[in-house]
């Protein structure tokens, strides 16, 4: 099997795995919307802020160096594994201390219990950095997809059951812990090797040149993700925080999860081509083409139908989150491309560029939020999205520089699918508001979505047949492989 075919098939399996996560997360979210109030969801977000403020010391910091290492020995694998277990243990203890302090204060009832559960989850996820990295390194995304689907089905059942039983926001964190436990069991039980808790200092030199950069940009990213919530929690109410977080998370569930699947494939794939600039440029542009063709019609359809599907799935109490959600859907356009750009820069051993970008985002976020703090959550969301578009141009310039690619050539490549998405959204909006506006809510939702997606795919087939053929060929190869498996 050629490398390009292997990468393509891995991408589809990654999207299947994380796509199922998106669907199940949406089911979870629908149930949460029915059983949890905006105020309770705001309390849950406070617990998640503590997790985000801690896990930047883990996440990809020890996974990506293993993926990219050219000389990976058993001793090196065990050394990094033992180190991640130690880091996970320390982070878990820190979160337990924070939980004890919050419960002692008594001002945020229930939040401390959620943090205890999330602390155990953090320990497990950090310890699984190396087992997961080895699977990604070998492009075993079919296995990872199956594990993801199984773990998320089980956690969804647990979450729904606990919500019905009245566990409230505690059910959300318990289901997340269940996902981590089941995934860890699958990674370790099916592993072709056994891991040992021993290390040699010289083996950890693998992390020295890369992990500090990753930790830095993850720290900046964590601050960027939580600073808006901090301003809202301190200036507005927990209910406002819940509505804002709900709109933002709904976008993440459907958009970021799907794009993140492609990012998981892009890093090891781009790393294999880091010494061949021309081949890397062609692969990157193809990845951008395929991802935008898959994700942008979804963004456009969701934007048009948000007024219908939010109250239908989650209930009318979340109507005030729709404007926030629509703003973050617009952010999804550059999330789609930006995650691939980050994978490219990191694959070329340029994590410092990505770190500077994260620092710029945090500084800009603080500056913007200092101006709009105290305004409505819609104004805050709009300010965050506009800020992101302004800074995104700098990353585009860095990508062009790294690939020896002309800036305006790249902009044109990006602009084509975005223009088709805007035209499709316009068509769907007109049909939704002027043709089927008096129809049943569900029918209005279905027709509006179909018009957007149908218009987009029709324009692609008419104007960009080569790109459409690439996407169809990739899907057919996966389907044919699945039949013979």
**Mean pLDDT of the region 179-191:** 89
In angstroms, rounded to a whole number, what is the distance separating the alpha carbons of residues 392 and 361? 9
Q: Which residue has the higher pLDDT, 197 or 259?
A: 197
pTM greater than the 0.75 cutoff = no
Report the chain's mean pLDDT, rounded to a whole number. Answer: 79
Question: Residue 20 — very low, low, confident or very high, per pLDDT cuts 50/70/90?
Answer: low
Listed range (293-307, 348-362, 398-412) with the worst mean pLDDT: 348-362
| Helix, coil or strand: residue 318 | helix
Question: Residue 346 — very low, low, confident or very high, per pLDDT cuts 50/70/90?
Answer: low
Give the residue extent of every domain in the chain: 3-484
In angstroms, rounded to a whole number, what is the distance separating the alpha carbons of residues 203 and 80? 8
CB 65 within 8 A of CB 193: no
What own/partner pairs with CB < 8 Å and gap ≥ 24 does 455-460 have? 455/423, 455/424, 455/427, 455/428, 456/296, 456/297, 456/300, 456/420, 456/421, 456/424, 457/297, 459/420, 459/423, 459/424, 460/293, 460/417, 460/420
**Mean pLDDT of the region 82-110:** 84
CB 186 within 8 A of CB 218: no
Task: From 83, 336, 93, 352, select the one nearest 206 (Cα to Cα).
Answer: 83
Cβ-Cβ contacts under 8 Å for 46 (sequence gap 6 or more): 108, 111, 233, 238, 241
Largest CA distance in the chain: 70
In angstroms, rounded to a whole number, what is the distance separating the alpha carbons of residues 213 and 358? 11
**Mean pLDDT of the region 66-79:** 74
Q: Is the pLDDT of residue 247 over 50?
A: yes
Q: At residue 469, what are phi and psi to the nearest 5 degrees?
A: -65, -40
Tokens of 301: 């359809």
- pLDDT value for 485: 47
Question: Residue 208 — very low, low, confident or very high, per pLDDT cuts 50/70/90?
Answer: low
In angstroms, rounded to a whole number, what is the distance separating the alpha carbons of residues 344 and 329? 23
In angstroms, rounded to a whole number, what is the distance separating the alpha carbons of residues 330 and 307? 15
Among 126-140, 256-270, 463-477, the range of highest mean pLDDT:
126-140
Task: From 70, 162, 87, select the one nearest 128 (Cα to Cα).
Answer: 87
In angstroms, rounded to a whole number, what is the distance separating the alpha carbons of residues 417 and 288? 10
**Mean pLDDT of the region 318-340:** 85
Q: Which residue has the higher pLDDT, 150 or 110?
A: 150
What own/partner pairs with CB < 8 Å and gap ≥ 24 does 268-275 have? 268/67, 268/68, 268/136, 268/137, 268/139, 268/347, 269/7, 269/10, 269/139, 269/347, 270/343, 270/344, 270/347, 270/348, 271/67, 271/68, 271/347, 272/3, 274/347, 274/348, 274/349
Listed range (118-122, 185-189, 194-198, 453-457) with the worst mean pLDDT: 194-198
């Amino acid at each position: 099997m050629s490398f390009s075919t292997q990468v393509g098939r891995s991408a589809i399996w990654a999207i299947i795995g994380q796509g199922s996560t998106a669907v199940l997360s949406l089911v979870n979210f629908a149930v949460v919307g029915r059983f949890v109030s905006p105020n309770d969801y705001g309390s849950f977000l406070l617990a998640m802020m503590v997790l985000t403020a801690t896990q930047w010391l883990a996440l990809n910091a020890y996974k990506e160096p293993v993926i990219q290492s050219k000389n990976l020995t058993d001793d090196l694998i065990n050394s990094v594994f033992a180190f991640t277990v130690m880091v996970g243990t320390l982070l878990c203890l820190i979160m337990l201390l924070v939980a004890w302090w919050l419960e002692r204060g008594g001002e945020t009832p229930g939040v401390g219990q959620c943090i205890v559960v999330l602390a155990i989850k953090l320990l497990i996820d950090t310890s699984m950095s190396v087992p997961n990295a080895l699977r990604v390194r070998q492009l075993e995304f079919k296995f990872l997809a199956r594990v993801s689907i199984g773990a998320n089905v089980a956690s969804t059942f647990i979450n729904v059951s606990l919500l019905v039983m009245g566990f409230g926001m505690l059910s959300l964190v318990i289901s997340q812990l269940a996902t981590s436990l089941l995934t860890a069991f699958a990674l370790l039980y099916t592993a072709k090797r056994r891991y040992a808790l021993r290390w040699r200092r010289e083996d950890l030199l693998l992390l020295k040149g890369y992990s500090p950069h990753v930790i830095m940009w993850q720290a900046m990213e964590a601050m960027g993700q939580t600073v808006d919530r901090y301003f809202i929690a301190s200036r507005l109410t927990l209910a406002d925080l819940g509505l804002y977080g709900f709109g933002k998370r709904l976008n993440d569930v459907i958009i970021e999860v799907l794009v993140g699947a492609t990012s998981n494939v892009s890093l090891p794939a781009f790393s294999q081509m880091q010494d061949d600039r021309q081949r890397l440029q062609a692969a990157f542009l193809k990845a951008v083409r395929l991802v935008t063709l898959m994700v942008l019609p979804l963004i456009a359809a969701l934007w048009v139908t948000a007024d219908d599907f939010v109250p239908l799935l989650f209930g009318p109490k979340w109507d005030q989150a729709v404007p926030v959600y629509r703003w973050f859907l617009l952010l999804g356009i550059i999330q789609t491309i930006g995650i691939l750009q980050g994978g490219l820069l990191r694959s070329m051993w340029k994590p410092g560029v990505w770190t500077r970008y994260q620092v710029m985002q945090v500084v800009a976020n603080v500056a913007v939020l200092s101006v709009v703090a105290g305004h409505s959550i819609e104004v805050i969301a709009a300010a965050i999205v506009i800020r992101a578009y302004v800074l995104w141009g700098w990353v585009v310039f860095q990508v062009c520089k790294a690939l020896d690619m002309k800036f305006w050539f790249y902009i044109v490549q990006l602009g084509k699918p975005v223009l088709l998405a805007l035209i499709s959204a316009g068509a769907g909006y007109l049909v939704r508001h002027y043709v089927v506006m008096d129809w049943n809510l569900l029918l209005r939702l279905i027709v509006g979505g179909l018009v957007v997606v149908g218009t987009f795919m029709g324009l692609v087939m008419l104007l960009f047949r080569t790109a459409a053929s690439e996407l169809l060929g990739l899907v057919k190869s996966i389907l044919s492989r699945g039949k013979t498996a």
